[in-house]
Amino acid sequence: MTIHIGAAPGEIAETVLMPGDPYRAKWAAETFLEKPRLVNEVRGMLGFTGSWKGNPVTIQGSGMGMPSLSIYANELIRDYGAKTLIRIGSCGGMQEKVRLRDLVIAMTASSISTPSRGIFRELNFAPCADWSLLQAAVRAAEAKGTPTHVGGIYSSDVFYDERPDLNEQMVRHGILGVEMEAAELYAVAARHGCRALAVLTVSDHLLTGEALSSADRERSFADMVEIALEAAFA
């Protein structure tokens, strides 16, 4: 048991999927895992452990934003021995070629600042995904026929952005989408020698203003979870 995770020793699997929304963690566990059991509900941040094709898996909510994600990733790795952490969530599209419901697999994650900034100080650390996970996720997406984009994303400190000038430069430099957690996940995993990946569904678009309905999000997120699981155990 840690400050933020109430699971007992042995109740967290080495492979952890991390949606931001705790209720999405509940939905994913009940939909994809065999015999899922609740292992954490501290502060309402739900976590479940079960199995997928005989492999132990934990699905743990991370909350919104990098500070919250950092807490859970650190405790999962440091105190529970997690080795593979995959963020499953949504992102906003930032390129014309990126469409609603497409999958974005983040090779790199740019940011203005992360909770790890205090460690790196003057260094602009470039957090990136684990290659074996990224490669496996791309193969799984291709096998399912899911439209997929692989490249850089932007992890933002804020949800309500007021920097159109920065967005213009990111679009210009090929950033595929924006979300709020992956850069810190990649940094924490690198620090502890673990594998990390972000597999994201495009739920809205910064250029067109389009957005998925709640029902469409659920159908699209199912592909994302399956691809993340396939990648974890490839």
| 177-179 and 148-155 beta bridge pairing | parallel
Q: Residue positions in the annotated binding site for a purine D-ribonucleoside? A: 4, 179-181, 203-204
Q: Residue positions in the annotated binding site? A: 4, 20, 24, 43, 87-90, 179-181, 203-204
Q: Residue positions in the annotated binding site for phosphate? A: 20, 24, 43, 87-90
- CA 134/CA 128 separation, integer angstroms: 10
125 burial via Cβ count (<10 Å: 0-12, 13-18, 19+) = middle
Where do the H-state alpha helices sit in the chain?
Answer: 22-32, 66-80, 117-120, 131-144, 164-172, 182-192, 214-232
Catalytic entry in 21, 204, 216, 223? 204
Answer yes or no: 204 catalytic.
yes
Where do the H-state alpha helices sit in 81-124?
Answer: 117-120
The set of catalytic residues is 204
